[in-house]
Structure 1
Amino acid sequence: CASRRSCVGGPGQGQIHGQARPRTEERPAPGSRSAALYVHWPYCEKRCSYCNFNKYIPRGLDEDAMQRCLVKETTTLLKLSGVQRIDSVFFGGGTPSLASPHTVATVLEAIAQTTHLPAKAEVTLEANPTSSQASRLAAFQGAGINRLSIGVQSLDDTELQLLGRTHSVSEALRTLEEAWRLFPGRTSVDLMFGLPAQQVEPWLRQLQELLSLCDDHISLYHLTLERGTLLFAQVQQGTLPSPDPEAAAEMYQDGREVLREAGFRQYEVSNFARNEALSTHNWTYWQGGQYIGVGPGAHGRFVPQGDGGSFREARIQTLEPDNWMKEVLMFGHGTRKRVSLSELELLEEVLALGLRTDIGITHQHWLYFEPHLSLWDVFGESEEVRELQSQGLLLLDHSGLRCSWEGLAVLDTILLRLLLQLQNAWKNRPPPTFKVTESGAASQSGDSCFRYSLD
């Protein structure tokens, strides 16, 4: 994959056949009339040793057919969602820089013809250095891309080989230089840490070197050994040593310090920006906004208003590209599974995602999703919260609920305790009446969480 990120009929579209950058400290949660849009390009030159994303090595790829299906599903899901504006578009994968600029331009044109796509909307492309030569990057810019996310991952050729990356350090540096020239202030780079046998000081030197070359956005990703990957098997078999968790924790802490001293704001657990170069698209995820997933295996979260729906749904598209294309041609989209989110499930997502950011969850933002149970109601009398506050890890005040800088580093531990507190508060709240919130959550009156799936 180009980076460590990725997110995603019948007689009627709702049936199932056979997931501009923020300029202020808080942006209102996108309402039911706007959304972000993610496009998944499932193909790669080869499979990296650590990656378990939905990706395929193409054999005789018919890009025109894939392009037509991406356009068709984009149009179908946009109409189904009923959104009037797309705030951002993200081409992820896989390695979307392997797609032709014409495919990117055609998808963007389909979006603009179906709904409003502002001229200054953020449009990001994940790029791999081996498929991002200068002329190609310029062509993507001409197609409508205005932001790049470059999967550098390491500035050590031995580590790149370990990860199964197809580029070298010199290729990565050339790509960064060209990207900076074409997309000043709009280029993000990824750096991984916590690799087998990786040492703290050499990794910090990589980060310092990257700082001298990069633009205004850096993502630091901790390697996760995923079952089914080559790297997982090598560690299990003893061919490679297990990553050292203490060394990884030190890399993360020291890396945060280095970036803070360089003027970067840690606006999310893994993401750092200066000069307000936050990712608008990812910010939508973390603020609990709607997003539409297009392409094989893409995830989405939106209310299917165009089909008369009132509840927000978690949706996933068919994984395998050939099957997905057949379903798109037959039904207009390849949605394989959709689950209506209950109000509690939506609140759990708002809590888990919002606390990943440095601003956390404001009172106003929380009340947008749950107007009858405030943050004070849920957490104000909690001994757990008081303990976390006394440890300097969590803040609950007039602004809202958020982790401290120290707390962001141990969010997983904090979140488990807060989710349990939310569930208990929800269980003990006054009996609700059936309603649909403005955010598109189904209430918990009776068993209002209905599910559709095709296994």
Structure 2
Amino acid sequence: MVLPATRARGLVAATKAAQRRRRVDSGGGSPSPEPASRRAAVYVHWPYCEKRCSYCNFNKYIPRGVEEAAVRNCLVTEVHTLLRLSGVRRVESVFFGGGTPSLASPHTVAAVLEAVAQSAHLPADSEVTLEANPTSAPASRLAEFGAAGVNRLSIGLQSLDDTELQLLGRTHSSSDALRTLAEARRLFPGRVSVDLMLGLPAQQVGPWLRQLQELLHHCDDHLSLYQLSLERGTALFAQVQQGALPAPDPELAAEMYQEGRAMLQEAGFRQYEVSNFARNGALSTHNWTYWQCGQYLGIGPGAHGRFMLQGAEGRTREARIQTLEPDNWMKEVMLFGHGTRKRVPLGKLELLEEALTMGLRTDVGLTHQHWQQFEPPLTLWDIFGTNREVKELLEQDLLLLDHRGLRCSWKGLAVLDSLLLTLLPQLQKTWHQRTPSLVPGG
């Protein structure tokens, strides 16, 4: 991906760019907080991987002669364009996801961060996360990413069992994973997250819990538990369909999740979101923006975004998707300054549905104050306070509705999907019954 002769020059440029950004930030002082419509997170999609994992259906490609400089220039161009169109003046966090962004050069990461800082205020202490696979992230390369401006790593460990790693199509071993994790913690203490998967074919509760217990001896302050989702079009899906592998057992997966979250709670981790656990305050700032239904800009092939266009009438937020295929995305960026393929205006009800769905994923839930930020004509009490089915969920200690707002109990977080089957229809029903009389001329 990066020729050795250009790598050293790229690292020097990356380091200088990161230092320049920090100097500009410290010299100008911190501006007054911007309104929510002028703040956003930025997600940057690097679409290339060394190989496709057997379970993955993300927008990713195996590189063949990729010209990284051209990709970098398009990422920088799209950053400038979308920040200008959105009118965002302060970027809260930047997340490099993929694909495998640790395959990109540190120079590319630094160039994108510099573009963000040129078009908006990017505080020097903003969270800048890079997803990394153990095999693509030796210690020297991790240090280079740190010099380029990265200050948090998310490591796709997935399993500590080599047989499971082979089943998943991963290119690293468990020893590779632990070695990379140790180096990451040395370079980014307190700011390293790891992923662990559960619910694999033939996986049993006891051995998986022993993996988690082993990981607790090595991990930092953030850990994510993800249940395998068999996606059509993946190699793993085909193997299960053909009978070569047993279908994952949902009851065993549920037991792993319940036992795992209890183990993490005992180890001092806060389950601050359905799949995410943190201690010592090491929450993911970037992901918190998603769950709080904040604005975010999607940069790169296939990236998703949610933001309001500057000067848009009615303050309408848009859902935006960038063109999937990298070469076509690059052509559009060079022609139009961005590669947005699809724009969908979000109505007020749709926005409230998103706020409800995403907010309830967290242990904070939806506070009354946060709900009012979306300017609903109905309060949480109006919608859920008198409904019989919601009252039953409250009595079962799955939900709480009080002076703070609406949230799941610890027990309720584990079954959020089933709770939403009651809550979303109730929101929609109340909206359609009550809003006509609240809208002038309705």
- Structure-1-length-normalised TM-score: 0.88
Q: Which amino acid aligns with 2:152?
A: R
Residue 297 of structure 1 is matched in structure 2 by 302
Residue 214 of structure 1 is matched in structure 2 by 219
1:328 aligns with 2:330: no
Q: Which amino acid aligns with 1:416?
A: L
Structure 2: gaps (5+ residues) = 1-32
When residues 410 and 288 of structure 1 are mapped into structure 2, their CA distance, relative to the original with a 3 A threshold, is: same
1:150-175 Cα shifts (integer Å, max 9, x gaps) = 00000000000000001111110110
1:284 aligns with 2:323: no
Distance in 2, matches of 1:115 and 1:250, equals 46
Q: What pairs up with 1:224-303 in 2 under 5 angstroms?
A: 224-303=229-308
Query: More helix by proportion, 1 or 2?
Result: 2
Residue 379 of structure 1 is matched in structure 2 by 384
Residue 192 of structure 1 is matched in structure 2 by 197
What is the CA distance between 1:406 and its match in structure 2?
A: 0.5
What is the CA distance between 1:356 and its match in structure 2?
A: 0.2
Aligned residues: CA RMSD: 1.5
Distance in 2, matches of 1:210 and 1:251, equals 15
Identity %: 76
Residue 36 of structure 1 is matched in structure 2 by 41
What is the CA distance between 1:243 and its match in structure 2?
A: 0.5
What is the CA distance between 1:334 and its match in structure 2?
A: 0.3
What is the CA distance between 1:372 and its match in structure 2?
A: 2.4
Residue 56 of structure 2 is matched in structure 1 by 51
What is the CA distance between 1:368 and its match in structure 2?
A: 1.1
1:117 aligns with 2:122: yes
Residue 319 of structure 2 is matched in structure 1 by 314
Distance in 1, matches of 2:311 and 2:143, equals 37
Residue 64 of structure 1 is matched in structure 2 by 69
Q: What pairs up with 1:354-433 in 2 under 5 angstroms?
A: 354-431=359-436
Question: Is the Cα–Cα contact under 8 Å of residues 92 and 127 in structure 2 kept in the other structure?
Answer: yes
What is the CA distance between 1:416 and its match in structure 2?
A: 1.4
1:176 aligns with 2:218: no
What is the CA distance between 1:304 and its match in structure 2?
A: 0.8
What is the CA distance between 1:120 and its match in structure 2?
A: 0.6
Question: Is the Cα–Cα contact under 8 Å of residues 293 and 299 in structure 1 kept in the other structure?
Answer: yes
Distance in 2, matches of 1:431 and 1:385, equals 24
Q: Which amino acid aligns with 2:75?
A: L
SS at match of 2:144: helix
SS at match of 2:102: helix
1:208-250 Cα shifts (integer Å, max 9, x gaps) = 1100000000000000000000000000000000011111000
Residue 157 of structure 2 is matched in structure 1 by 152
What is the CA distance between 1:308 and its match in structure 2?
A: 6.5
Q: Once structures 1 and 2 are overlaid, which stretch shifts more, 303-312 or 72-81? A: 303-312
Structure 1 residue aligned with 2:166, among 143, 153, 161? 161
Distance in 2, matches of 1:390 and 1:351, equals 20
Residue 351 of structure 1 is matched in structure 2 by 356
Question: Is the Cα–Cα contact under 8 Å of residues 80 and 307 in structure 1 kept in the other structure?
Answer: no
Structure 1: gaps (5+ residues) = 1-27, 436-444, 447-455
Distance in 2, matches of 1:135 and 1:49, equals 29
Residue 6 of structure 2 is matched in structure 1 by none
Q: Which amino acid aligns with 2:92?
A: D
1:403-428 Cα shifts (integer Å, max 9, x gaps) = 00000000000011100000001001
What is the CA distance between 1:386 and its match in structure 2?
A: 0.4
Distance in 1, matches of 2:96 and 2:39, equals 18
Question: Is the Cα–Cα contact under 8 Å of residues 377 and 438 in structure 2 kept in the other structure?
Answer: no
What is the CA distance between 1:309 and its match in structure 2?
A: 7.5
Distance in 2, matches of 1:219 and 1:434, equals 43
Question: Is the Cα–Cα contact under 8 Å of residues 30 and 289 in structure 1 kept in the other structure?
Answer: no
When residues 306 and 148 of structure 1 are mapped into structure 2, their CA distance, relative to the original with a 3 A threshold, is: farther
1:380-439 Cα shifts (integer Å, max 9, x gaps) = 00111101011110110111000000000000000111000000010011426779xxxx
Distance in 2, matches of 1:316 and 1:308, equals 21
1:284-322 Cα shifts (integer Å, max 9, x gaps) = 000010000000000000001166773100000000000
Structure 2 residue aligned with 1:94, among 70, 75, 99? 99
Structure possessing the higher relative contact order (Cα contacts under 8 Å, 6 or more residues apart): 1
Distance in 2, matches of 1:341 and 1:306, equals 16
Number of paired residues?
410
